[in-house]
């Protein structure tokens, strides 16, 4: 029973649904999207009432915010997953049917309940008290009137009342719950002995007539699946790369515009002397500053060791002047572009000519280089490949719709689409449906290939995007229906199966004999593994098969013994050495477990109630909109 309850009450998906039917955000809550919904395309309908794409998108955003507020890392792959999208939609549908039930059964929130809730909301507190000024300010920021906000909170509280009211109806006396909880938290010290079927294989002999008899009795098991040979045409971004060109000038422009991206981990250390020029300086003032900078430059180049002293005496960059002009280490993007270009083109110890920037005239001395650079010559090949693929992707996007239309309009052959888009028509070997799914990584494409329209009417499939930037269409060349395999094809496998079954029976006979001796107290000493202590959640390395059986063992008398046969692998003996009831030893744990149990039952009641409401409604989902990557 507890396992059933867990399916509804654990996991991020259940929490998302729960978040969508409660009040996780209060002022910035889920209800806001209901007021923003317009007449856009419907993601779903509940009794004819639309759930718009805007409403759904806002709910996705609120769900993401809620998960982030709980400390979860929310990746785009999760938001795009069908499971997440369906969970968000389920939350909206649940909200709709619960609100309808509230209206039908006349649930109401009194003005006093509403007032007490709003007065206690932390968003409106200042110095530990409700602040009307904060209340009005926040509502104004969120473009809400008091009436509209209070209407939304009243509705949220009613939904909460329904949910909490159902949970509060559930009561399980501790004595009744105790048996389930004791079993749930029980620990068992166990050991295992395996009698392997493989050890008995050399004792088994299978005769040819046994193999033939098995084949005759089980011919329906030996059916070769239907196969098709298909022609297919593939439009892909990778295939279009040969049809686009990128010039050296484009590569250089991209490098210059994205220099920081290609800098590697190179850092430059430099000192400078700045002769500043005011933004409103006259031409005469600017000329005077330049003349002064040129004079200092001559002195620095004549005696490079004097650079630090010259910086202290002349530099108008007060932050670095006192340090002899030292700017420390910096990477690309940290300095203004003229300064950066100069610094990253110099050699260590070199002093630059005057470098003009928006701040004035710089004299730069490069004092050190750390890390590795990625200069243009090093990365230009990679940049060119990247630009070619970007152009190929853009061309693919331009051609995709036309490709799909041509495949459909010229459905009697793939030659027109091959000629128009300069792609090759390829022919596959004979393939089963599962092999097509594996090869093309698309169940949808395989389903189309085996459809009557394609198989019998000899038409092209639709163009299917089997993966990002890969669009494929196919048609059937030949079809081989499913048929029984002949005896020679399968006799080897049948013989191996019969040997395995016979060996498994011998292992079982041996195991049952040992088990009987153990239960009778006879002196039997199997090669038990080192004992481990397990509970229902911690297997301590034991197999799933052992864990499925270890808690079936009656432990009225210890040690207790049990045995089971697992497929054709052999026979397993279990020995339960000791049993510990953790809840009896820890009253606090027992009390907590009982409260969790009560909560799980309440959640189960809520889910059952919602399911009953949904069963009475006509709910239609538009999967094309829901599963689109554009929402």
The pLDDT, as a whole number, for residue 499 is 93
User: For residue 373, is pLDDT > 70?
Assistant: no
Q: 501 with 361, same domain?
A: no
Report the alpha-carbon angle 220-226-231, nearest 5: 175
The H or E element that residue 498 is part of is: helix 487-519
**pLDDT averaged over the chain?**
82
Q: 351 with 384, same domain?
A: no
- Kindly report the number of other CB atoms within 10 A of residue 623's CB atom: 12
Dig out the tokens for 155 from the structure.
């509705």
The H or E element that residue 329 is part of is: strand 326-330
The pLDDT, as a whole number, for residue 56 is 81
The DSSP result for 448-478, as a single string, is HHTSHHHHTS-PPPPPEEEETTEEEEEEEEE
Question: For the segment 544-598, what is each residue's pLDDT rounded down to a tens digit?
Answer: 999 999 988 998 899 999 999 987 789 999 999 998 877 666 667 666 666 666 6
Q: 498 with 541, same domain?
A: yes
Mean pLDDT of 273-294: 89
Q: Please give the Cα distance from 141 to 143 (Å, whole number).
A: 6
Question: For the segment 607-631, what is each residue's pLDDT rounded down to a tens digit?
Answer: 777 777 788 888 887 776 666 554 5
351 occurs within a structural domain = yes
Given a contact cutoff of 8 angstroms between Cβ atoms, the answer to whether 311 and 321 are in contact is yes
Q: 149 with 214, same domain?
A: no
Q: 410 with 325, same domain?
A: no
Q: 107 with 193, same domain?
A: no
Dig out the tokens for 322 from the structure.
């006192």
Question: Bigger pLDDT: 261 or 551?
Answer: 551
Place of tokens 């060109």: 245
In the listed set 309, 340, 373, which residue is the last one of a domain according to the structure?
373
User: Of 491, 494, 500, nearest to 204 (Cα)?
Assistant: 500
Cis before residue 559, ω within 30 degrees of 0? yes
257 occurs within a structural domain = no
The DSSP result for 54-119, as a single string, is HHHHHHHHHHHHHHHHTT----HHHHTSHHHHHHHHHHHHHHHHHHHHHHHTT----HHHHHHHHH
The pLDDT, as a whole number, for residue 21 is 38
Return the CATH number at 284. Answer: 3.10.50.40
When divided into structural domains, the chain yields a total of 4
179 occurs within a structural domain = no
Question: For the segment 411-445, what is each residue's pLDDT rounded down to a tens digit?
Answer: 999 999 999 999 999 999 999 999 999 999 999 99
Q: 580 with 607, same domain?
A: no
CB proximity list for 26: less than 8 A, separation 6 or greater: 121, 123, 153
Mean pLDDT of 326-345: 85
Question: Bigger pLDDT: 34 or 444?
Answer: 444
254 occurs within a structural domain = no
The DSSP result for 370-388, as a single string, is ES----HHHHHHHHHHHHH
255 occurs within a structural domain = no
Q: Please give the Cα distance from 119 to 134 (Å, whole number).
A: 12
58-62, 161-165, 513-517 — which is least confidently predicted?
Answer: 161-165
Q: Please give the Cα distance from 528 to 440 (Å, whole number).
A: 49
Mean pLDDT of 498-514: 93
pLDDT band at 602 (very low <50, low <70, confident <90, very high): low
The pLDDT, as a whole number, for residue 309 is 93
User: For residue 172, is pLDDT > 70?
Assistant: no
274 occurs within a structural domain = yes
631 occurs within a structural domain = no
Q: Which domain holds residue 549?
A: 186-221+488-585
Most confident of 179-183, 355-359, 405-409: 405-409
Given a contact cutoff of 8 angstroms between Cβ atoms, the answer to whether 56 and 43 are in contact is yes
Q: How many CA atoms lie within 13 A of 356 on its CB side?
A: 9
Q: 231 with 215, same domain?
A: no
Return the CATH number at 45. Answer: 1.10.4030.10
User: For residue 28, is pLDDT > 90?
Assistant: no
248-257, 351-360, 605-614 — which is least confidently predicted?
Answer: 605-614
Mean pLDDT of 203-227: 91
Question: Bigger pLDDT: 295 or 63?
Answer: 295
248 occurs within a structural domain = no
Report the alpha-carbon angle 523-526-528, nearest 5: 130
β 129-130/186-196 pair status: unpaired
Per DSSP, 263 falls in state -
The pLDDT, as a whole number, for residue 279 is 74
The pLDDT, as a whole number, for residue 1 is 36
The pLDDT, as a whole number, for residue 370 is 83
Edge-to-edge order in the sheet of strand 42-46: 49-52, 42-46, 619-621
Q: 43 with 95, same domain?
A: yes
User: Of 309, 298, 314, nearest to 351 (Cα)?
Assistant: 298
Q: Please give the Cα distance from 443 to 81 (Å, whole number).
A: 17
User: For residue 193, is pLDDT > 90?
Assistant: yes
The pLDDT, as a whole number, for residue 596 is 67
At residue 236, φ and ψ (nearest 5 deg) are -140, 155
In the listed set 373, 406, 439, which residue is the last one of a domain according to the structure?
373
Mean pLDDT of 214-223: 89
Q: 207 with 235, same domain?
A: no
The pLDDT, as a whole number, for residue 38 is 37
Q: 543 with 573, same domain?
A: yes
Residue 275 DSSP SS3: strand
Most confident of 174-183, 364-373, 464-473: 464-473
Q: 341 with 363, same domain?
A: yes
Question: For the segment 93-148, what is each residue's pLDDT rounded down to a tens digit?
Answer: 887 887 777 777 676 777 887 788 888 888 888 888 888 888 887 777 777 788 88
Instruction: For CA atoms 7, 11, 13, 15, give the dihedral sign.
Output: positive
Question: For the segment 297-335, what is each residue's pLDDT rounded down to a tens digit?
Answer: 999 999 999 999 999 999 988 778 888 999 988 877 778
The pLDDT, as a whole number, for residue 590 is 63
278-287, 290-299, 611-620 — which is least confidently predicted?
Answer: 611-620
553-559 contacts, C-beta under 8 A, 24 or more apart: 553/188, 555/188, 555/579
In the listed set 425, 460, 484, which residue is the last one of a domain according to the structure?
484
User: For residue 401, is pLDDT > 50?
Assistant: yes
């Amino acid at each position: 029973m507890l396992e059933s309850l867990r399916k509804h009450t654990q996991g991020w998906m259940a929490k998302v649904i729960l978040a969508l039917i409660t009040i996780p955000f209060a002022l910035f809550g889920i209800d806001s999207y209901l007021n923003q919904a317009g007449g856009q395309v419907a993601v779903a309908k509940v009794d004819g009432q639309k759930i718009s794409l805007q409403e759904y998108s806002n709910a996705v955003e609120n769900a993401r915010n809620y998960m982030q507020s709980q400390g979860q890392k929310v990746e785009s792959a999760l938001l795009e997953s069908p499971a997440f999208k369906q969970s968000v939609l389920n939350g909206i549908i649940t909200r709709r049917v619960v609100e309808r039930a509230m209206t039908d059964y006349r649930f109401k929130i009194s003005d006093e309940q509403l007032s007490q809730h709003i007065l206690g909301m932390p968003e409106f507190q200042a110095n530990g008290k409700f602040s009307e000024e904060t209340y009005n300010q926040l509502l104004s920021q969120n473009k809400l009137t008091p009436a509209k906000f209070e209407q939304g909170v009243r509705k949220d509280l009613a939904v909460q009342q329904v949910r909490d009211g159902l949970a509060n109806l559930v009561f399980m006396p501790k004595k009744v719950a105790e048996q389930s909880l004791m079993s749930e938290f029980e620990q068992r010290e166990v050991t295992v002995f395996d009698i392997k079927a493989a050890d008995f294989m050399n004792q088994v002999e299978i005769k040819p007539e046994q193999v033939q008899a098995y084949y005759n009795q089980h011919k329906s098991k030996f059916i070769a699946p239907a196969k098709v040979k298909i022609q297919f045409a593939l439009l892909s971004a990778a295939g279009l790369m040969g049809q686009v060109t990128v010039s050296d000038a484009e590569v250089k422009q991209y490098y210059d515009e994205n220099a920081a991206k290609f800098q590697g981990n190179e850092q430059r250390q430099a000192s400078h002397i700045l002769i500043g020029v005011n933004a409103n300086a006259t031409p005469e003032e600017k000329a005077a500053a330049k003349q002064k900078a040129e004079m200092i430059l001559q002195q620095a180049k004549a005696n490079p060791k004097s650079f630090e002293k010259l910086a202290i005496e002349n530099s108008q960059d007060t932050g670095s002047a006192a340090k002899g002009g030292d700017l420390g280490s910096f990477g690309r993007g940290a300095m203004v572009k003229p300064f950066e270009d100069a610094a990253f083109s110099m050699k260590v110890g070199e002093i630059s000519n005057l470098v003009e920037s928006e701040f004035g005239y710089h004299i730069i001395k490069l004092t050190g280089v750390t890390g590795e650079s990625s200069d243009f010559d090093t990365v230009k090949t990679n940049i060119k490949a990247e630009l070619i693929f970007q152009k190929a992707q853009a061309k693919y996007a331009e051609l995709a719709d036309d490709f799909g239309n041509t495949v459909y309009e010229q459905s009697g052959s793939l030659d027109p689409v091959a000629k128009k888009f300069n792609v090759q028509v390829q022919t596959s070997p004979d393939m089963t449906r599962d092999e097509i799914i594996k090869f093309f990584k698309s169940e949808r494409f395989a389903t189309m290939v085996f459809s009557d329209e394609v198989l019998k009417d000899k038409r092209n499939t639709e163009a299917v995007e089997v993966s990002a930037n890969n669009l494929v269409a196919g048609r059937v060349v030949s079809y081989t229906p499913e048929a029984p395999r002949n005896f020679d094809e399968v006799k080897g496998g049948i013989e191996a199966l019969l040997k395995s079954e016979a060996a498994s029976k011998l292992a079982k006979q041996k195991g049952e004999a040992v088990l009987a001796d153990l239960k009778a107290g006879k002196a039997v000493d199997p090669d038990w593994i080192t004992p481990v202590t397990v509970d229902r959640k911690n297997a301590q390395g034991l197999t799933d098969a052992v864990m499925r059986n270890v808690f079936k063992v009656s432990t009225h008398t210890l040690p207790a013994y049990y045995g089971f046969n697992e497929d054709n692998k052999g026979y397993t003996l279990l020995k339960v050495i000791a049993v510990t009831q953790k809840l009896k030893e820890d009253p606090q744990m027992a009390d907590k477990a009982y409260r969790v149990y009560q909560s799980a039952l309440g959640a189960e009641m809520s889910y059952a109630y919602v399911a009953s409401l949904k069963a009475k409604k006509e709910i239609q989902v538009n999967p094309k909109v829901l599963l689109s990557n554009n929402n």
